[in-house]
Structure 1
Amino acid sequence: MMFYKLLVFILGESSFLRWKYYYRTGRRLNLRKPERFSEKLQWLKLNHRLPEMTQMADKILAKQYVSERIGEPHVIKLLKVFELPQELQWDDMPPPPFVLKTNHDSGGVRVIRDKSDFNVQELQRFFEQKMHSFYHVNLEWEYKNIQPAIFAEEHLQGANRANLLQDFKVHCFNGKPRFIQTISDRESGAKENWFDTEWNALDMCYFSTNKAKVKQPATLGEMLVLSEKLAGKFPYIRIDWYNCQGRVYFGEFTFRPYGGFMNWNKEEVDFELGRLIKLPN
């Protein structure tokens, strides 16, 4: 983290993005006339910064944002907020099961089913490593002014009592849902699938070439309608959903998935998705 922070300080934002884009993709970044999806995400990092994006990227504040727009029933219940990892003590926890998450980064998640999952030292060590600004990793401005915190939320149990629910990532371009991405079996070997809004499978991926059998959720239509309500004026936004016992729950907002540093299985996909983004003046 300190390495990235130092590089941003030395190079400045634009040069840092050019360096990291080349480091991650092997390509030079065109910021003057971006064409690729991955390039336009970098352009948006530098040129499209709206105050509400900070609230939306904050996983705690996003609950209020979503509740005001589509209703509280679609929001996973917030149980408790902790400012520091040292506050994580079993006697201060809500009744299990629950999920501990960070509000300001990616990957800060622990599922607590009962007291056997609550190793105080391990949890405090894990979350201590997360208590820094996520902004410097990929220069995603929306994370820059989020005050890091840890929160407990209701645990939604998946099929066959699975700890991790299948999430459905709805990619919206200029306010319209266009694709649904799923990433399955993260714990045993990630599998990535893409579908259009009619649930036709698409040959595109950047995270994993392995595929899973993912059934069309009965609530797909509702997810798409709700996504359009939340997508608003953003040139691009990804909205994640969970389908639990026939109900749709909001997961999170993402403005630059994978930091925008993806290498697609087919290069033309990068250009096709890039054409869908209309950059603001």
Structure 2
Amino acid sequence: MMLSIKERVKKSIPSWLILIRRYRKVHGVFPNLVRPATFNEKTLYRILFDRRTVLRQLADKAAVRSYVALRLGPQALPELYYLTTRPDTIPFDRLPDRFVVKPTHGCGWFQIVTDKSAIDRDALVGICTRWLNQSYYDINREWVYKEIKPQIMVQEFIDDGGGPVPTDYRLFVFEGTVELIEVNVGHLTRGRVRLYTPAWEKLAPKSGDDVPRPTHLTEMIAAAAILCGELDFVRVDFFDTPEKLYFGELTTSPECAMGRFLLEGLDRSLGRHWNLPHFTTLRPALRLRYVSQNRRPV
């Protein structure tokens, strides 16, 4: 497929330059990447310079299943019904009435099917085909997505009794210790986000309805420690049902360093929990680039 001149120019711009400018636009300041202190600065530092292969495995929605199964057991995973590079081969007739479809090489892309008889199968196949033809790396410039094999997953629908989209529990885990739980009721709906401590004390927002303590909170925190104990930071997402706890996904760079927390000061306080690995061979080049971009001392 031929790229337009605009697309070719965009692809030629270095990722570090795009991300630093994007960070400045979102947060109002340039990131300090020589001595990163806040959570978002450290997230951006990881995106630009941390090339550990395990991070790519965690981002791959198919490959991460073996990582989780090895540590928690296969029972923690939603059942995988089908994995393919050809969406037109999805065996709809053999699938249950409810299921979830998503690609392996992106984030935030999914289709929830709650009534198989009501879906337009051709339209769903078309959506999957577009996913396969898209590069999530080109969108967000997160290197972990660059070489993930694009595939389509069809997996179990998780019903927590709260509606078509289960509540998403997102645990911020630093070297095996959970420091924050972000609860997303309705998934991707910013108005229903709540922040809690691991002891389920509400942090933000102060007004608004509370989210009931999840049935398997203790197991959730223990599972997060097992999954992330060997890593400096990972966000691990879970779904909780009355019967059991389900793994959702692992995120190594939440919101591509562009997230804004509901609680003032949380960006810096979370940053204090994150002990970044030092990539000494890259720091001189980083300093030169950063000084050149900012034109101010660092």
TM-score normalised over the length of structure 1 = 0.88
Long gaps (5+) in structure 1: none
**Which residue type is aligned with residue 246 of structure 2?**
Y
1:46 aligns with 2:48: yes
Q: Report deviation, 1:187.
A: 7.9
Equivalent in the alignment of 1:94: 95
Equivalent in the alignment of 2:272: 275
Q: Report deviation, 1:262.
A: 1.8
Identical aligned residues as a percent: 26
Specify whether residues 8 and 210 from structure 1 end up closer, same or farther in structure 2 by C-alpha distance, changes over 3 A only: farther
Q: Report deviation, 1:275.
A: 1.2
Correspondence 1:45-194 to 2 at 5 A: 45-88=47-90, 90-91=92-93, 93-131=94-132, 132-159=134-161, 162-186=163-187, 190-194=191-195
Equivalent in the alignment of 1:248: 245
> Once the two structures are superposed, what CA deviation does each residue of 1:28-69 show, in whole Å capped at 9, x if it has no partner?
122111111111100011222211222221111211210111
**Which residue type is aligned with residue 163 of structure 1?**
P
Equivalent in the alignment of 1:9: 12
Q: Partners in 2 of 1:57 and 1:175 — Cα distance? A: 18
Higher mean C-alpha deviation, range 212-221 or range 250-259: 212-221
**Which residue type is aligned with residue 139 of structure 1?**
R
Equivalent in the alignment of 1:233: 230
> Once the two structures are superposed, what CA deviation does each residue of 1:103-130 show, in whole Å capped at 9, x if it has no partner?
1212221222333332123213322332
Equivalent in the alignment of 1:262: 259
**Which residue type is aligned with residue 239 of structure 1?**
V
**Which residue type is aligned with residue 86 of structure 1?**
D
Higher mean C-alpha deviation, range 165-174 or range 81-90: 81-90
Contact in 2 for aligned 1:8/1:16 (Cα 8 Å): no
Contact in 2 for aligned 1:191/1:212 (Cα 8 Å): no
* Matched length: 274
Contact in 2 for aligned 1:169/1:180 (Cα 8 Å): yes
DSSP-derived class of the 1:34 partner: coil
Correspondence 1:212-227 to 2 at 5 A: 212-227=209-224
Cα RMSD between the aligned structures?
Answer: 2.4
Q: Partners in 1 of 2:207 and 2:42 — Cα distance? A: 27
Q: Partners in 1 of 2:7 and 2:29 — Cα distance? A: 20
> Once the two structures are superposed, what CA deviation does each residue of 1:184-239 show, in whole Å capped at 9, x if it has no partner?
134877311011110001136xxxx9844211112111110110001033221100
